[in-house]
Structure 1
């Protein structure tokens, strides 16, 4: 034979007609799957090996995408954030879970108004009379109602969240003192004193203090 520019002899039993696989030949890539961290709270520990006592390589937050190489005995061999390790398979899901950063469907709300006959309406921390008062709402205050249950409404008013009794909320805005009322019917008259001035008093009694002295013809 001739090999590497040199001539010589070798045993035929160590020669083959096809090229054998060597370490430098790329092997078939390992089959992987993509999964997501799905913890209800906190983070998921990625450990050096598939055991609870192994050292923690990284802490993975909910929704983190991971590459799964293999799964065995409740542990998955994964790669996440450029690091390799093992995590419990029960905290991995094939679909991405909803996380706090994902916009949720807006809650359906209604608009109502505080309708107390007098005083103010207490907005409490929870739906019970013994709960602490968050704010006092005056008659006519517009509130956003999230839900109603057992005579209590979960509301937002003046930038604060709390609960108020449903019986003091109405769908229409009640008249308040600031609402202009029908003007009082008046008549025009003139001061008619034979001499001097007419005392205008603070109240309808001769002993009330004098506010002003009005001349004839005023």
Structure 2
């Protein structure tokens, strides 16, 4: 489990490519201070398992499903990546619930600077739109963000100066791909409602969710 608060920007040192897989060697500082074999680390929003490490690097494997469904397949030596360690049980929860299980890949269609903010509009897969709502949460390349505007298969996020400096998002260009993880709570509510619609005996309904504070 992650929070979407990026701890460090790492640099890809080496990429060993299979036909549908990768082995990544990533250089980092803070992330490897207390790393152990088998630890989970979010790399651009994708939960990967540490397979080896040194004082300055760690390695992780990317399996075929992750290779196909995320932007990690585009990484090359020198690529910068957002890194976050799994949240400890006694840690501060600064973002939102992020699993590291990416739901889809989006494409940046526009960037606009407005005073101290950077607006970024992303085209997402149509099936993800149901999970987007104004003021709702989304993780973009592993960064916890608030949706500023949504509609027509697009979502717009606003990056404050700190996020621009401490993540890779501001350096992304129009046309670049980003990993999208929709809000976990929205997905659970959607699943419960769809299950309820298939069962006449289910107590899950929109009225039930409103009565119990899960919907407006």
Instruction: Give TM-score, length-normalised by structure 2.
Output: 0.17
Name the structure with the higher helix share.
2
Larger Cα Rg: Structure 1 or Structure 2? 1
